[in-house]
Structure 1
């Protein structure tokens, strides 16, 4: 099979010129598509018009032509097979393929050496066929001689693919080369199959090597890349409006686009101001194409490969178009997604956002004055799950800052926080304080938020007292809607965040101190976290029931030598003798949300450059879904049709022998008053428990 029809990267006008010169219905050629990355274009001449069909490759490396409506796409493993199929009549194209249009250099060569290609020496042909057969047999024999132990380590299907290529396809590639072709289609498809997914593994390995390099250089990673930094964003003055500041954030992301199983390097730029996703071949090159914000339908993050992202785009040709990109690391992907969300929010047709970003910071200040510069805390720079530099300057919608052991005057500390935040975003500020625990709550549209900042009892041996501190806060902290006061605070909010110096320690003997420090230096955090008191108590359902916490990937935040983050000062001299404070994750952020609501932790870590305290400041950021959940009961347009909830049957099992009659009370922010049911029917069970049944329908309006 000759591939004279393949023209690689010629332009569309050049292709049209060649087909016009051919001037025969059924003349065709194949080139790379200019409007769809990774696709080919099959150009076909019929009745003085040129029809273009795009050739796509799916995730199984199967080729298919975008055919006429009503024709089911047919898939092919090899490009020559596809061409042969569409040479048949009524195969789905406007006409069948008949006359391949040669490349320009081939046509010129034919004119110079006219007639030479038709003269073939029969003896030479026989020798050539024999040589090719010998090559195929030799390679097949070499493959058979490969050690079986090595073949056992090869992924399933690889050995068969190599055998098929040697037996069937290598001669086709040889024919292509003999006909002056520069493209070996069969080898290209084979390599695409064998190396599928290899690029992802290489990128992940590079990311791991980058982290190791930063560790060895004693330079905590702040989201940099071995493949080059994205341009920095210089914020405007503190008084500038936050919307104007968003406009300036326009980093360029280097990504790889999956095309025919081969990853092509391109660059993506999120133009927040104009609402466009721009595609460029080089970082500083011109714009190749763009997608408006309203055409970007969905972002799908791969769970298997943390640096892979699929973008679903509304297409004029097809209903949707799927673009698969691989970023240099997972933090770059998250930064890109945050910028895309910012762009969508800015240009949304809705009056209210459906997603907001929340920053939460907690810091035990150790009864010492803070440094003048604490900006790294609010920019999530340090160790752990941190924000990429390209997203660090994106302001959050809500900032929650909790501190403990703060001896500064209220005014000085508030002024420092306000001056720091004004360098990042426009703010409105509210300050509350208390000893032990303090909380704040509010409604955002129809979504309720609660935040608790607490400082629990210290001391490794006082775990049970900390548990009791937690229970007391649940009982006595007055927070949230008064209509929900019969419930503890963990059930009053759509989203409840709990932060502070919770003081839970790593429960290991004091003689393990040096071993703990060594494991921290080696970043073997997960082994130490199996002995973390908070995780163990939470797993035993003693505290923080149904709360979540992001995976901890940063070092213990306590107890450091002041003015250093290289030394843990875990021995303290007291009048009663030596006291050990083993390195521990005392400072934490947890959250609890209603089921099936969107909340995603985007960062969780600690700073490395704020060293005035024996604790490191801890930060966490969240992407939180918000919406208007309930229809207003005072709206006259809704007065005729109030919302109702019907319970067809309710059943409760109680551990009691009491004969008391029981009823159900319904409390909700959307109810004007609580609703009380009729008494249930008591039914004794064999296990000495009491079952209460409400068989009549219950209606809550």
Structure 2
């Protein structure tokens, strides 16, 4: 018989690595080791890779339905020998989202669901929209949403509307039916927001001198965040890297074609931790306590360690953008009497 309960809490850290890349219908490069930083120490626990504009011409798309597409095949062949398992993937025409994890975590990833939303021509064509995967990771509900939104400078408001539409229409059913019901949401992809007003000379001179901060006030996504309350709930690391669009293929020179597209941070990675005020009172996963220094101590915390573009890949007119995170997950270890331990994920 138990004589009493003793409860202790600890936080476990897991490393998450995310990539977004508009591959411009190109075939995979021969090597993606540097893109995925597979030799990083400590090793990554979760990889989430979102691609846009995977080749989806009718014949190729039908072929990919029968056999795995070339990007998924290449990533599987690269990561499986390193001890990673592909847990799931979801594709909508050119949009592709893949989830890999270390084998040790497989038993603790549950309730995997995927869905997609079309926002292309009249809402029926899947060349634009969002694909997502949600799952429980050690008892915490995470959702990853890979989007490809409307292009061109003058469609910033349409991009926000499309994102709202995707959030409103995606439905996973069960306990967390909507994207924003999840404890943590990662929103990423070719969001297509541009840098407004500045001329080409000012853009290029600011980029060449690495004075990226001179461009932030005219970045359309940062501008929209000031106007739209729901966007303000999403965090993003500082844009201290070269804009990832638009490049001449097979090089690191910004667009020299007749169109001369302006450089922009079209490819982004943001995240949102569900605000405590939106959590039901009986939702244990959303309960926060106070730390010794008086700050709120949430059951899961997200810390970004790196956010940048990788300039070494030239198969597309976009450079891949990646971010690394630490997921700090609270667990409770409860001892009943002197006889046994009960592990509870909170």
TM-score (normalizing by structure 2):
0.69
Q: Quick one: distance in 1 between partners of 2:130 and 2:175?
A: 22
For the pair 1:586 / 2:266, whether they are aligned, the reply is yes
Report matched runs for 1:415-454 at 5 Å. 415-422=73-80, 424-434=82-92, 435=126, 436-454=129-147
Q: Quick one: distance in 2 between partners of 1:538 and 1:515?
A: 24
Q: Quick one: distance in 2 between partners of 1:365 and 1:629?
A: 43
Task: Judge conservation of contact 1:446–1:628 (CA < 8 Å) in 2.
Answer: no
Q: Are the structure 2 counterparts of residues 483 and 590 from structure 1 closer, same or farther at C-alpha, using a change threshold of 3 Å?
A: same
RMSD: 2.6
Q: Quick one: distance in 2 between partners of 1:392 and 1:420?
A: 15
Q: Quick one: distance in 1 between partners of 2:229 and 2:191?
A: 14
Match in the other structure for 2:295: none
Runs of 4+ in 1 over 4 A off after TM superposition: 628-631
Q: Quick one: distance in 2 between partners of 1:475 and 1:615?
A: 29
Q: Quick one: distance in 2 between partners of 1:524 and 1:359?
A: 27
Match in the other structure for 1:414: 72
SS at match of 2:163: helix
Cα displacement (A) at 1:392: 2.1
SS at match of 1:392: coil
SS at match of 1:431: strand
Match in the other structure for 1:556: 243
Report matched runs for 1:132-531 at 5 Å. 354-379=12-37, 392-407=40-55, 409=64, 410-422=68-80, 424-434=82-92, 435=126, 436-479=129-172, 482-485=174-177, 488-490=178-180, 492-509=181-198, 512-531=199-218
Specify which structure has the bigger relative contact order, considering alpha-carbon pairs within 8 angstroms and separated by 6 or more residues.
Answer: 2
Structure number with greater Rg is 1
SS at match of 2:271: strand
Task: Judge conservation of contact 2:27–2:71 (CA < 8 Å) in 1.
Answer: no
Report matched runs for 1:618-697 at 5 Å. 618-628=321-331
Cα displacement (A) at 1:478: 1.7
Task: Judge conservation of contact 1:498–1:590 (CA < 8 Å) in 2.
Answer: yes
Q: Quick one: distance in 1 between partners of 2:35 and 2:42?
A: 14
Q: Quick one: distance in 1 between partners of 2:229 and 2:137?
A: 31
Q: Are the structure 2 counterparts of residues 620 and 470 from structure 1 closer, same or farther at C-alpha, using a change threshold of 3 Å?
A: same
Deviations 1:154-201 (A, max 9, x none): xxxxxxxxxxxxxxxxxxxxxxxxxxxxxxxxxxxxxxxxxxxxxxxx
Cα displacement (A) at 1:529: 1.4
Q: Quick one: distance in 1 between partners of 2:223 and 2:315?
A: 31
Q: Quick one: distance in 2 between partners of 1:428 and 1:484?
A: 23
Match in the other structure for 1:569: 255
SS at match of 2:133: strand
Deviations 1:495-543 (A, max 9, x none): 111110000000025xx11221121011010111111000010122265
Q: Quick one: distance in 1 between partners of 2:330 and 2:185?
A: 16
Unaligned runs of 5+ in 2: 1-7, 93-125, 277-297, 335-345
Task: Judge conservation of contact 1:395–1:424 (CA < 8 Å) in 2.
Answer: no
TM-score (normalizing by structure 1):
0.35
Q: Quick one: distance in 2 between partners of 1:537 and 1:603?
A: 24
Of Structure 1 and Structure 2, which has the larger fraction of its residues in strand? 2
Unaligned runs of 5+ in 1: 1-349, 381-390, 573-578, 632-669, 671-701
Q: Quick one: distance in 2 between partners of 1:628 and 1:489?
A: 24
Match in the other structure for 2:306: 603
Q: Quick one: distance in 2 between partners of 1:571 and 1:428?
A: 39
Q: Quick one: distance in 1 between partners of 2:80 and 2:155?
A: 40
